[in-house]
Structure 1
Amino acid sequence: MIDISSVSVRFGGVHALTDVTFTVPAGETCGVIGPNGAGKTTLFDVVTGLRRPTSGSVALRGTDVTSTSAVRRSRLGLRRTFQRPQVFGRLTVLDNVLAATEWHGGGGGLAADLVGRPSRRRLESSRRAKAGEALDRCGIADLATAYAADLPIGQRRMVELARAIIDDPDVLLLDEPTSGLDADQAARFAAVIGDLDATVLLVEHDVGFVMEACERIVVLDLGKVIADAAPARIREDPVVRAAYLG
C-alpha cells in the first residue's frame, strides 16, 4: 500500500533523511520510532505530500505520487493527524468531523441548497449519522456541540482522529497519536486503530504503545533506517537499544 524507495531529504548541508526504503503492505499497522531529530516527521511530510524529497520516490497502491499534491493524495484515500492537533477551533466538534466529507460535494449546487432538495437533505442526514458514529467510536459523542477551541489537547486529538476516519481512509498516518492522552484515551485510540480496515503508519515516542499496537516497526536514527522488524526483534536488537531504547 505504501512504497517508500530511496527517499532522501536535505536542508542545505543537513541530511534529514538518507536513502530511506521500506514498504507497508495493505492492512498492516507499522510504527516508526527513533530519537528526536531522527527524521520521523520529515518522512511523514514526504509521504503525505507536504514536502518533496531531494531524491527517491513514494508510491501509494502502486501509483507513483512523488510529484502529487497533498490534496490529490488525500483524494486517493490518505489521511493524516499531526504532532500538534490541527482542529478548527471556531467550529463545533461535529462540524470539525463533517468538514472531512465536504470535498465530495452535495449535488445540485447552490440551487439545491436554496430550495432544500430532498436528495440534499438525505445526504446531509447520512453524513451527520456517519459523523456521529465516528465520534462515538472515539469516545467523544457527548462533545458534539462543544467548540474545538475549548477542548484540552487529549480531546482535540480524538476529534482529529474522528475526522481522519470518517471517510474510511485506505492509508492513515498518525504523528505522535498518544501525546496528551490519558490512559483511557490511549486505550480507546489503540482500539480504534485496531478496528480500522486501513493501512496505518504511525510515529510515536511511547514505545510500549508502539510495541502493542504495531505488527512491524521501522527504526530511524540520524535519517537512516537502522532496523525493520517485528516488535519482539526490535526490542532485543542491540543496535536499536544503543541508539534509542537504551
Structure 2
Amino acid sequence: MSGDAVIEVDGVGVRFGGVHALDGVSLTVERGRTCGVIGPNGAGKTTLFDVVTGLRRPTSGTVRLEGRDVTGAGAVRRSRLGLRRTFQRPQVFGRLTVLDNVLTATEWHGGGGGLAADLVGLPARRRLERERRDRAAAVLDRCGIGDLRDAYAADLPIGQRRMVELARAIADEPSVLLLDEPTSGLDGDQAALFAEVVRGLEATVLLVEHDVGFVMSACERIVVLDLGKVIADGEPARIREDPVVRAAYLG
C-alpha cells in the first residue's frame, strides 16, 4: 500500500473482445481526499468505477481498499468494508418512501435478537429502530429533502432522486464514496448543496463528472482518462493548463 492510500488501483485492464476499455490504469486516493476522474465519452470512467466497486472484475491488475486486495471480492463485500456508490442514472427504490430508501442503507447491521426480537418488540430493538430513523431523518435534512421523507421516490424529479441517492449513500457513514456524474440533473442550488454535503464528509471521495467547473472546484486532485489510459494526473490548476489534456478533452 502506498502511503495512506485508501483506494489503490494498480495496472488495471478491462477488455471487451478486442477493445481495451481500460489499459494499465493506476491511481491512488489518499485518506480524506477528493479525487476527480474526467475524460471524453468512452474514456473508461464508468468502467473504472465498476472495477473499483466490484461490479466488474478486471482482466488484469489489482484493486485494494484500505490495504486489502479486493480484486476478486464482489460489491457486497466491498460495501461491508465501507465503500458506497451513486450511479450515473439515480438508482432509488421507487415503491419506497424517501425515508425508507435511506433506511435500507443501515438494514444490514440488523437489530440484534433475530426474529424473536422482531416479534416481541424488545425495548433494545425499539431503541435501535428510533436511532436509525433519527439518523436517516437528519441525513435527509442535511441533503435538503427532509420535507420529502414521506414521498414515494418514484414520484420525484431526477434532481431530488439524486439527492435521495446521496442521502442513502452517506447514511451509514462510508469511508469511501464513489460518485458517478453527481451533478447530472441538478439545478444550480442543488449542485451547490450537493458539493457542500460532500465537502463536509470525512470519507475518501472519487468522482466522475462532465462538469469541469464542478470538478475543478470540488477536487484536490484530478485524473484524466482517454481511450482507457491515464494521460494526466495532478492538481486542478496543472490539469487545466496541460496541453495534452486540453487537446484531448478541455479544448
SS of residue in 1 equivalent to 2:206: strand
Ranges of 4+ aligned residues in structure 1 off by more than 6 Å: none
1:213 aligns with 2:218: yes
SS of residue in 2 equivalent to 1:32: strand
| Alpha-carbon distance, 1:113 to partner | 1.1
Separation of aligned partners in 2, 1:152 and 1:102: 26
| Alpha-carbon distance, 1:39 to partner | 0.1
Structure 1 equivalent of residue 184 of structure 2: 179
Aligned partner of 1:189 among 194, 208, 211: 194
Structure 1 equivalent of residue 30 of structure 2: 25
Separation of aligned partners in 2, 1:138 and 1:232: 29
Separation of aligned partners in 2, 1:69 and 1:16: 20
| Alpha-carbon distance, 1:150 to partner | 0.1
Identity %: 81
1:14 aligns with 2:19: yes
Aligned partner of 2:82 among 77, 82, 90: 77
SS of residue in 1 equivalent to 2:62: strand
TM-score by length of 2: 0.98
What per-residue deviation string (whole Å, max 9, x for no partner) do you get for residues 33-81 of structure 1? 0000000000000000000000000000111000011100000000000
What per-residue deviation string (whole Å, max 9, x for no partner) do you get for residues 133-192 of structure 1? 110110000000000000000000000000000100000000000000000000000000
Given residue 171 of structure 2, which amino acid in structure 1 is its aligned partner?
I
Separation of aligned partners in 1, 2:220 and 2:48: 19
Aligned partner of 2:153 among 148, 156, 162: 148
Structure 2 equivalent of residue 240 of structure 1: 245
Separation of aligned partners in 2, 1:180 and 1:171: 23
Given residue 123 of structure 1, which amino acid in structure 2 is its aligned partner?
L
Aligned partner of 1:3 among 1, 4, 8: 8
Separation of aligned partners in 1, 2:149 and 2:203: 25
Separation of aligned partners in 1, 2:224 and 2:39: 6
Separation of aligned partners in 2, 1:99 and 1:30: 27
Aligned partner of 1:44 among 49, 66, 84: 49
Structure 2 equivalent of residue 139 of structure 1: 144
Separation of aligned partners in 2, 1:64 and 1:112: 37
Structure 1 equivalent of residue 3 of structure 2: none
SS of residue in 2 equivalent to 1:130: helix
Given residue 128 of structure 2, which amino acid in structure 1 is its aligned partner?
L
1:112 aligns with 2:117: yes
Given residue 144 of structure 1, which amino acid in structure 2 is its aligned partner?
R
Separation of aligned partners in 1, 2:115 and 2:67: 38
| Alpha-carbon distance, 1:110 to partner | 1.3
Separation of aligned partners in 1, 2:38 and 2:210: 7
SS of residue in 1 equivalent to 2:194: helix
1:65 aligns with 2:89: no
Separation of aligned partners in 2, 1:245 and 1:28: 24
TM-score by length of 1: 1.00
Structure 2 equivalent of residue 168 of structure 1: 173
Tell me the C-alpha RMSD between the 2 structures: 0.4
What per-residue deviation string (whole Å, max 9, x for no partner) do you get for residues 83-131 of structure 1? 0000000000000000000000111111111111100000000000100
Given residue 250 of structure 2, which amino acid in structure 1 is its aligned partner?
L
Given residue 143 of structure 1, which amino acid in structure 2 is its aligned partner?
L
